[in-house]
C-alpha cells in the first residue's frame, strides 16, 4: 500500500491528468470535489466518473455555497462567460471567470481532509500558462499556501512535511495532454466547458473549450468531446 495523497478533482482535463500522475507516483488517492453551484455542474458528474474509473480510496464531494452567496464571478454569477477569445486576450488580465479565493478555499478543505485521512501530500492541477490571469494559479501562491499549511494543522506542526504538488503548473495544454495520453487518462470522461448546454454539451467557444481543442490539435490526438459549435 502506497502513501495517501489528497487530489483535487474538478472533472476537467487538468485535474484528471493530475490524479493519474499522483497514482503513477505511487500515491493512494483520496479525491475531493466541490459543488459550488458552478454553471458547469456537469463537471461534477465527470469527476465522479473519473474517480470511479480509478477506483479511488474515497471520493469526498463538498457543498460550498459561499461562492454563489458572495458572487463576483461569471462561473457562479449572472455575468456572461466570454467567448472566442485569443490566448493573449485570455491571459492579459484577470478574467471574469476567476472566482475570488476559490483555490484557497478548495485547498483549505483539502488540508482538513489531509489531516483526517493522514495524508501529507496534496495535488492540485493548476496551470500558470493558460490561467496567467488567475492569482491563485501561480507558483508563488502555491508555495505560500504550502508554507501556511505546514503551520496550520497538527501533522505539519508535529514535524511531518505537508507538500502541495502542482505538477502541471508550468505545462502547456498540449504537454498536459501528452502526459495524460502516456498515462491513459480517460479523457472521454472529462469535461472542460464553462458554459455547456443544459444537456451538458460543450459550447466550443469559451476559454476552456478553446484551450482544450487547441491542446488536442497540437498534440495530434482526437478530442473525444462533443461540441455544440466548432467555429
Per-residue binding string, a copy of itself, 78-97, x by CB under 8 A, is ----------------x---
Helix segments in the chain, DSSP class H:
13-24, 42-53, 66-70, 87-91, 102-116, 139-152, 154-157, 173-182, 207-219
Least Cβ distance, residue 189 to a copy of itself (angstroms): 25
Least Cβ distance, residue 64 to a copy of itself (angstroms): 8
Residue 69, interface with a copy of itself (CB under 8 A)?
yes
- Torsions phi, psi of 94, nearest 5? -70, 115
Least Cβ distance, residue 115 to a copy of itself (angstroms): 4
Residues 6+ apart with CB under 8 A from 149: 107, 111, 122, 156, 162, 164
Q: Which of 54, 67, 194, 216 binds a copy of itself (CB under 8 A)?
A: 67
Cβ distance to a copy of itself smaller for residue 100 or 200: 100
Cβ distance to a copy of itself smaller for residue 143 or 226: 143
Q: Are 50 and 97 in contact (CB under 8 A)?
A: no
**CA-CA distance, 129 to 102, in Å (whole number)?**
18
Least Cβ distance, residue 111 to a copy of itself (angstroms): 4
- Torsions phi, psi of 202, nearest 5? -65, 145
Within residues 136-155, the interface with a copy of itself by CB under 8 A covers 136, 138, 140-141, 144-145, 147-149, 151-154
Cell triple for 26: 505511487
Residues 6+ apart with CB under 8 A from 224: 187, 188
Which residues would be at the binding site for a copy of itself (CB under 8 A)? Answer: 60, 62-63, 65-67, 69-72, 94, 98-105, 107-109, 111-113, 115-117, 135-136, 138, 140-141, 144-145, 147-149, 151-154, 156-157
Amino acid at each position: 500500500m502506497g502513501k495517501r495523497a489528497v487530489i483535487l478533482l474538478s472533472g476537467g482535463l487538468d485535474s484528471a491528468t493530475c490524479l493519474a500522475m499522483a497514482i503513477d507516483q505511487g500515491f493512494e488517492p483520496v479525491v475531493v470535489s466541490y459543488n459550488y453551484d458552478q454553471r458547469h455542474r456537469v463537471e461534477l458528474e465527470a469527476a465522479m466518473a473519473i474517480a470511479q474509473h480509478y477506483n479511488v480510496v474515497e471520493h469526498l464531494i463538498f457543498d460550498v455555497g459561499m461562492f454563489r452567496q458572495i458572487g463576483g464571478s461569471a462561473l457562479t454569477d449572472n455575468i456572461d462567460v466570454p467567448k472566442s477569445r485569443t490566448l493573449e486576450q485570455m491571459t492579459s488580465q484577470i478574467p471574469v471567470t476567476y472566482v475570488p479565493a476559490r483555490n484557497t478555499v478548495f485547498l483549505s478543505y483539502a488540508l482538513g481532509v489531509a489531516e483526517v485521512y493522514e495524508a501529507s501530500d496534496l495535488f492540485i492541477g493548476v496551470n500558470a500558462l493558460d490561467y496567467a490571469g488567475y492569482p491563485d494559479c501561480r507558483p508563488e501562491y502555491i508555495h505560500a499556501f504550502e508554507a501556511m499549511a505546514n503551520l496550520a494543522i497538527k501533522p505539519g506542526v508535529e514535524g511531518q512535511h505537508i507538500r502541495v504538488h502542482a505538477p502541471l503548473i508550468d505545462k502547456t495544454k498540449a504537454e498536459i495532454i501528452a502526459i495524460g495520453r502516456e498515462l491513459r487518462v480517460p479523457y472521454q470522461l472529462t469535461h472542460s466547458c464553462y458554459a455547456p448546454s443544459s444537456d451538458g454539451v460543450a459550447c466550443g467557444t469559451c476559454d476552456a473549450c478553446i484551450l482544450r481543442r487547441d491542446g488536442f490539435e497540437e498534440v495530434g490526438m482526437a478530442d473525444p468531446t462533443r461540441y455544440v459549435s466548432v467555429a
